[in-house]
Amino acid sequence: MNTSRSTHATAAPSSFSRRSNRWKYKLWKNSPLLFFFLCFSLFLKSVNTSSSTHANRWKNEVFLSFRGVDTRNGFTDHLSLALRNADINTFVDYQLRRGENIQSELYREIEGSRIAVVIFSKRYAESRWCLRELSKIMRCREDQEGKIVYPIFHDVDPSEVREQSGSFGEAFRKHEERDEDPNEVDQWRKDLKACADLSGRNPKTTADRREGLFIQNVVGDIIAITKTTRIQTSQPTTRLGIWNTLSRLQELATVIFFFNFFSDWSTRITLAF
């Protein structure tokens, strides 16, 4: 009797050990599949995050850069009203809240605007503030995908901006006399030339030089640009929907996998005992 009991006592652990080994083998066998599910889940999450950020990164459609004493109460005011009447979200510096750091806030608005409209006027280059603002705009154009810079040559010729001649040449002579940082001045020159080389508008090319018609043409250009960029940015949104669907399918497959795996595991434990 004692021998029989001893035999059964040693046999049971041996049987359980075999079942345990089979369970461990099953876990090892399915580990690549489990690893794939985890990696795929992380991949989908990263794609969703980046696509969502890309689709929603612009705060404003348009940022207006201008020399206040030249155009604030005239052309710039008329253009901003026309853009808003066309339902184009436009930022002008008078929208800044009091008590904020003006430069840092302006830079944030530049970064958050899809299109930077630079209104060149005779005294634009006299202002270090305007030139630094232009440099920020041009850096954003280099660094931000989809950023558009649209120059307007209000009462200056594009060649004056490009070559820093006329009123722009005089402004730079004054900057050099004030012992400005030569590296910064050199960067201003490069940015002016780069901006002047971009496609924009000049009132001299408008019939009868009528400001109303010129503004209408500018607004038409901006609308065309925003429609084009909206089509481009809608593509990530479409892909986002596809990735969301795939993500849900992946989550469902993961649930089914774990349910089958652990239900089989619980059955084996039950049989063992």
Residues recognised as catalytic: 133
Q: Are 67 and 127 in contact (CB under 8 A)?
A: yes
What is the 3 state secondary structure string of the chain?
CHHHHHHHHHHHHHHHHHHHHHHHHHHHHHHHHHHHHHHHHHHHHHHHHHHHHHHCCCCEEEEEECCHHHHHHHHHHHHHHHHHHCCCCEECHHHCCCCCCHHHHHHHHHHCEEEEEEEECCCHHHCHHHHHHHHHHHHHHHHCCCCEEEEEECCCCHHHHHHCCCHHHHHHHHHHHCCCCHHHHHHHHHHHHHHHCCCCECHHHCHHHCHHHHHHHHHHHHHHHHHHHHHHHHHHHHHHHHHHHHHHHHHHHHHHHHHHHHHHHHHHHHHHC
